[in-house]
Amino acid sequence: MRLNHSEDIGGAVRAARKALGWSQTELAEKAQTTQAVISNFESSGDGRIDTLLRITQALDLQLLLLQKKESALWED
């Protein structure tokens, strides 16, 4: 799944949480944060990177950073 905006990431977290049948409170406990942080993250995608990493770990997701093919890093 390609996510280009913070709101997309928040929506993906919400979808994964709901697929597991978890409440925001349950995810917050597993990610060692608060329900308010989860709610804010799901609605806006705003949050700290360390929190995002704990959330993705709790949801058994993996966060990947990929270069765009057009990047100068692909040149010989």
Question: What's the CATH number where 51 sits?
Answer: 1.10.260.40
Domain containing residue 29: 6-59
Domain membership flag for residue 65 = no
CB 51 within 8 A of CB 10: no
Q: How many domains does the chain have?
A: 1
**Tens-digit pLDDT string for the chain (76 aa):** 666 667 888 999 999 999 999 999 999 999 999 999 999 999 998 889 999 999 999 999 998 877 777 767 666 5
- Predicted confidence at residue 71, as pLDDT, reads 66
- Predicted confidence at residue 70, as pLDDT, reads 72
Domain membership flag for residue 64 = no
- The set of residues, in sequence order, having a beta carbon less than 8 Å from that of 34 and lying 6+ positions away, is 28
Whether the full predicted model's pTM is greater than 0.95, yes or no, is no
Domain membership flag for residue 68 = no
